[in-house]
Amino acid sequence: MRSLTWKEVWGWRLARHALLVPQPREGLVEVVRTVCGIHAQVMPAAELSIGVRVTGVTRQEVRAELWQRRGLVKTYGLRGTVHLFPADELPLWLAALRANHKPNEAHRLDQLGLELAQVEVIVEAIGEALDGRCLTREELGLEVARRVGSWATEAVSPAFGGQWPRWLITLGAAASRGLLCFGPNQGQKVTFVRPDQWLGGWVEVDGTKALGEVLLRYLSTYGPATHREFAQWFGMQPSQALSLIQQLADKLEEVEIEGYRAWLPRARAAVAFPHFEEVVRLLPHFDCYLIGCHPRDRLVPPDLARRVLTHGGIGNLPLVVVDGVVAGLWQQRRVGRRLEIRVEAFQPLSARQHQELEASAARVGEVLEAESVLSLGAVNARPHL
């Protein structure tokens, strides 16, 4: 069994995330592919997640790749949250999501005021309504009600302190069936389109094979990892994740990291791990590196958990990462054409680390198309809801 240090693991993950050496501009889509999608519940954060990994790319170029060149697609993905995926891999990700068995789904829907049969009816209506059309959320709701009845638009589902109409709860189900993805905004309004028509070239993928491919990709970029860590990232039952690892045993190798055992793809386990020193990066809310890396008590030193974790979860705060590990908080404020970036480091920074921090802050400004001004001090960061 190969033995690794945690420093080697962080170096491997940073390299796979293009956080050691950013990728060239033409590698934008490949970066999103390698990191297994970009969390896009908050689009400015998604644009920054991509920008800090790709040299010279601004938020406008990310938008162009998404809405004009259509090399990326925005849809409901892992854990039911909005993600950006490479457009040519959307069938793969949707097949894997559909193959993820959720034994308590009927009970969950019942709590939301829905029945499985109602979901099927609404999802079919969504696909019909979007055939050849780009509709706002409001327009789509009206079309669904016209097709299935007003019961679909009754606000009965508890969500974010209020209630949502039944049909809105089914958007993730419609997306996983390949019947819906996001289209370009109309002003402040989101729109939806049919991905097979928006992207073209749709080829269905076997669900079992898709799940296996997703596991191997996760382990290649976020590994070494255990079956429970993969299950948490993907939103899967741990028992199903364990079964998946057992099915792929011939393609995996168990490694030991300072007493902690986890899995890597066999092809990756023998590769030399990169050397690095004093790497500092500013990562936005919900950055995929933070969401996907485990174990949490190694990513976030236990004495910092109170400042960094929100209800036990990570990602609700923009974080400073030093040598792969969380080491501070940061916040930004736009003042005219300037972007004021304030950093609270939880440990003293060396001269080289401070240079890295300055470069990282400058890169954030470039992505957001503003001149960044860096300062150090206490940060009163608020979790993003």
Q: How many domains is the chain built from?
A: 2
Question: What is the spatial distance between Cα 179 and Cα 200, in angstroms, rounded to a whole number?
Answer: 13
For residues 323 and 185, membership in a common domain is answered with: no
- Has residue 209 been placed in a domain? no
Provide the pLDDT for residue 315. 81
Provide the pLDDT for residue 109. 81
- Has residue 190 been placed in a domain? yes
- Has residue 206 been placed in a domain? no
For residues 182 and 322, membership in a common domain is answered with: no
| Residue that has been written with the tokens 């099915």 in this structure | 247
Provide the pLDDT for residue 126. 98
Contact between residue 217 and residue 206 where contact means Cβ atoms under 8 Å apart: no
Structural domain range at position 11: 3-102+176-199
| Residue that has been written with the tokens 């089914």 in this structure | 170
Provide the pLDDT for residue 116. 87
- Has residue 252 been placed in a domain? no
Q: What is the pTM of this model?
A: 0.95
User: 38's torsion region: left (phi>0), alpha (psi -120 to 50) or beta?
Assistant: beta
> 85: helix, coil or strand?
strand
For residues 96 and 189, membership in a common domain is answered with: yes
For residue 52, the tally of other CB atoms under 10 A from its CB is 23
Provide the pLDDT for residue 384. 61
Question: What is the spatial distance between Cα 375 and Cα 118, in angstroms, rounded to a whole number?
Answer: 54
- Has residue 44 been placed in a domain? yes
Provide the pLDDT for residue 383. 65
Provide the pLDDT for residue 42. 93
Question: What is the spatial distance between Cα 189 and Cα 212, in angstroms, rounded to a whole number?
Answer: 37
Q: To 10 degrees, what angle do helices 227-234 and 238-247 make? A: 120
Closest by CA position to 368, among listed 65, 55, 44, 32: 44
pLDDT in tens, the chain (385 residues): 899 999 999 999 999 999 999 999 999 999 999 999 999 999 999 999 999 999 999 999 999 999 999 999 999 999 999 999 999 999 999 999 999 988 787 778 877 788 889 999 999 999 999 999 999 999 999 999 999 999 999 888 777 667 889 999 999 999 999 999 999 999 999 999 999 999 988 899 999 999 999 999 999 999 999 999 999 999 999 999 999 999 999 999 999 999 999 999 998 877 888 889 899 999 999 999 999 999 999 999 988 888 888 877 888 899 999 999 999 999 999 998 999 999 999 999 999 999 999 999 999 999 999 999 999 999 987 666 5
Contact between residue 300 and residue 326 where contact means Cβ atoms under 8 Å apart: yes
Provide the pLDDT for residue 382. 67
- Has residue 96 been placed in a domain? yes
Contact between residue 168 and residue 152 where contact means Cβ atoms under 8 Å apart: no
Q: Which residues pair with 165 in a beta bridge?
A: 155
For residues 194 and 337, membership in a common domain is answered with: no
Token digits for 205? 């993928």
Token digits for 319? 């974080």
For residues 290 and 191, membership in a common domain is answered with: no
Chain-centre distance for alpha carbon 323:
21
Provide the pLDDT for residue 6. 96
Token digits for 224? 């070494």
Contact between residue 369 and residue 58 where contact means Cβ atoms under 8 Å apart: yes
Contact between residue 39 and residue 350 where contact means Cβ atoms under 8 Å apart: no
Q: Which of 144, 168, 199 is the last residue of a domain?
A: 199
- Has residue 79 been placed in a domain? yes
For residues 297 and 182, membership in a common domain is answered with: no
For residues 193 and 284, membership in a common domain is answered with: no
> 374: helix, coil or strand?
strand
- Has residue 182 been placed in a domain? yes
Q: Which of 132, 165, 199 is the last residue of a domain?
A: 199
Q: Which of 143, 165, 199 is the last residue of a domain?
A: 199
> 210: helix, coil or strand?
helix
For residues 44 and 192, membership in a common domain is answered with: yes
For residues 71 and 194, membership in a common domain is answered with: yes
For residues 188 and 285, membership in a common domain is answered with: no
